[in-house]
Amino acid sequence: MQSPVSYDLILYILSFLADKSQILYRLALVNREFNQAASKILYAQVILCPSYHHIAPNLKDNGLLTEPSQFISAKLPRYSSFVERLHIAGFLSTRAPPNNKLHAALCKAVQSFTHLQSVSFTPVSYHEDIFVESLKIIQKRSTLEELTVNRSCFDEPNITNPMSSSGLATLGEEDEEQEEQEREPPITKTQLLASFRNLIKLSLHDPTRAILQALIPGWLDALSGTLTDLHLMASHFGNCGSITPGVLRSAIPHLERICSFSIGLSYSLTDQDVFNALSQLPNLNTLRINYYLQNTSPPRFAPLRQLRALTVCHNRPETRRERDGLCKWIRKAVATSPLERLSLEDESESGNETSANLALDPLIDHLVAIHAKRLKVLDMRLSFVGVEKFRFLCSQCTELEEMSLVVDRNALARWSPQRLFVEHGSAMKRLHTATFNVCHSRPTRKDIDDRLAHEMVTSAPNLRQLVVNKRKWEGSWVYTEGGAVEFQVHRIT
């Protein structure tokens, strides 16, 4: 049955459900037009991320997936042209080809994905040459705009060339020519990466000295006309120690177009090194950076006058000195910035959403005093805010659209005399998403019930999603049985 609605309109409507795969699965069964539109959205991103299996080495393991996967069906001709983003992570087989058939499967898949725009190769375990042939194919894709790689695509240091000492001496001219060809060193993975052009976004995880030498200045010069996002990041078990003050200074002249920049943890870099370099980027509006306590941090940082979004990765402060150091560092970083988005990412291994921690109240004072009229997103989902500062935040930061905090249960509970969010929610007219993790809360404790959740959602005019300790409520306008339209709040999880 042909749909009375055009395919383009169906595709546009379904695009709003891109993160709701179960609904898209059902819509794909309606008719041919819905199936085509739903498939295009479902296969726009293909993820291959095998989980870790702690078992003895299996000589029969061919590296291929044994479970149903989107990656397998994406290679079919009817779906392969839909794939725009390919993400490969997790634990891949470390066996070498031809015993490891994943190499050939990846090449075949990449060859069929003719409209790739974004590629991410960041596995935890892998064979050293797993992506070489795939990168050669991807390098020729004119549609590619984003590339993310880790050490699986870098050359390992001090690897000798196996071709340098091999080959038998021959007397004929043809054999001599063949020997010369055999002695030509193969292209390295670093050289292969440096041949990519027209990238808009480049992310290097745990960059090595070799890849940084290729990046600066040659690769950056080649990408200078298109590159706007550069991310030099550290993985959970890695680091960015190869980024030294000299490396950073040499890169800055080639980053004039950069709007978004990330730099991972490197203990060889001081605050002065980093911010003096960043202040020379005239278009920098988004920054992701690691914080660690330094005794030689300057009293003021070089200004970042275009910075609108800041993400700070840090370890949870255990003492007041560490807490004050973190708050002061963030204040110095954004003192002259038109800040609209602030995110704090706690990288402590022992931290969780509801464990006790020191309140970052000094930071709230600064945000209210300097950035209240501009701040739109505040993501401090693992950072505690005291009751009084929570009241201060809700009443003053009226432009907030999203907020995520750790709060005391007195800030939300119905029996609390404050009932802070319900009282001050009406002032936050733009707030649509609120996430609260209640500290000192037992896993089995229900800190709020459906009735209080309804009061909280309806207290803010545009609040549509509320999450408290991973319990989620959503508000929406619905038709009643009597034909009227009313606002209702339903618990999702």
Per-residue pLDDT reduced to its tens digit, 401-436 = 999 999 887 777 654 544 678 888 888 999 999 999
**pLDDT given at position 52:** 79
Instruction: Give the whole-angstrom CA distance, residue 194 versus residue 201.
Output: 14
pLDDT tens by residue, 73-96: 999 999 999 999 999 999 898 888
Contact at 8 Å (CB) between 124 and 89?
Answer: yes
Q: Is the pLDDT of residue 352 over 70?
A: no
pLDDT of residue 356: 59
Residue 343: helix, strand or coil by DSSP? Answer: strand
Is residue 32 included in any domain, yes or no?
no
Extract the tokens encoding 368.
């209210």
pLDDT mean over 361-375: 95
Chain centroid to CA 167: how far? Answer: 47
Q: Is residue 4 one of the residues assigned to a domain? A: no
In a domain, 400, yes or no: yes
Tokens of 340: 């609209």
Q: For residue 467, is it within any domain?
A: yes
Tell the residue number behind the tokens 């169906």, with chain if given: 10
pLDDT tens across 255-291, in order?
Answer: 999 999 999 999 999 999 999 999 999 999 999 999 9
- Which ranges constitute the DSSP H helices of 299-432? 320-333, 361-371, 387-396, 420-424
167: pLDDT confidence band, cut at 50, 70 and 90? very low
403 DSSP β-pair partners: 378, 434
The count of other CB atoms within 10 Å of the CB of residue 57 is 8
CATH number at residue 374: 3.80.10
Per-residue pLDDT tens for 128-156? Answer: 999 999 999 999 999 999 999 999 999 87
Asked if residue 150 belongs to a domain, the reply is: no
Across 195-208, average pLDDT: 95
Q: Please list, in sequence order, all residues whose beta carbon lies within 8 angstroms of the beta carbon of residue 431, skipping any fewer than 6 positions away.
A: 400, 401, 402, 403, 425, 460, 462, 463
This prediction's pTM: 0.87
Q: How far apart are CA 142 and CA 50, in angstroms?
A: 29
Mean per-residue pLDDT over the chain, rounded: 86
β-sheet bridge partners, residue 334: none
103 occurs within a structural domain: no
Mean pLDDT of 292-313: 94
Calculate the alpha carbon distances from 21 to 6, 44, 72, 251, 312 in Å. Answer: 22, 12, 17, 42, 31
Considering its fold, how many domains does the chain have in total?
1
The pLDDT > 70 percentage for the chain reads 87
Residue 386 lies in a domain: yes
Q: pLDDT for 24-39, tens place per residue?
A: 999 999 989 999 999 9
In a domain? residue 160: no
* Domain membership of residue 466 as a residue range: 326-493
Categorize the per-residue pLDDT at 182 as very low, low, confident or very high, splitting at 50, 70 and 90: low
